[in-house]
Amino acid sequence: MSAERQTIQKQIVFNALCCLANHPTADEIFDAIHPEYPGISRATVYRVLNKLSENGTIAKVRVNNGADHFDHQVFPHYHLCCTQCGRISDLDMRPFVKLDLIAKKSGDFKITGYTLQIDGICHECQLKTESLI
């Protein structure tokens, strides 16, 4: 985590995010820590996650329909998002490492960040749909 002031709440929320490792929402993180740490409020979880994502310690994964998800892996990588169940998984693909060079050639543009999210239907949801037919 970053060099700014560390609190026990930040450490607990960050550890839960790392342990869940499934791109959880703030509510899922709250539900995971609340039984053991009932003194940490839902608002605190939201506040900590937003602060950690603002300072680059974690990544916020925005989805089209639903709550933001969070990722403890901040290196460049991409996500597959199921439009039916909301599951997010990492896409095992090398990042576009030449984007900075391409952008620079097209007008001295400095990339400060980018995302690639591929929407579709996960395997489990496909099986559920097929079983209904």
Q: Average pLDDT, stretch 71-89?
A: 87
Instruction: Please spell the DSSP secondary structure of 77-133, one letter per residue.
Output: -EEEEETTT--EEEE-----TTHHHHHHHTTSPPP-----EEEE--HHHHHHHHHH-
CA quadruple 122, 96, 106, 104: dihedral, nearest 10: 140
Instruction: Please spell the DSSP secondary structure of 49-84, one letter per residue.
Output: HHHHHHTTSSEEE--SSS--EEES--SS-EEEEETT
- pLDDT at position 15 is 97
Q: Per-residue pLDDT tens for 59-68?
A: 999 887 778 9
Cβ neighbours, 10 Å, residue 126:
13
Per-residue exposure over 73-110, b if at least 16 CB sit within 10 Å of its own CB, e if not = eeeebbbbbbeeebbbeeeeeeeeeeeeeeeeeeeeee
Q: Considering only 30-39, 87-96, 119-128, which range has the smallest mean pLDDT?
A: 87-96
Is the model's pTM score more than 0.75?
Answer: yes
Q: Average pLDDT, stretch 15-40?
A: 96
Q: Can you list the domains of the chain with their CATH numbers?
A: 1-72 (1.10.10.10), 75-133 (3.30.1490.190)
Distance CA(99)–CA(101), nearest Å, equals 5
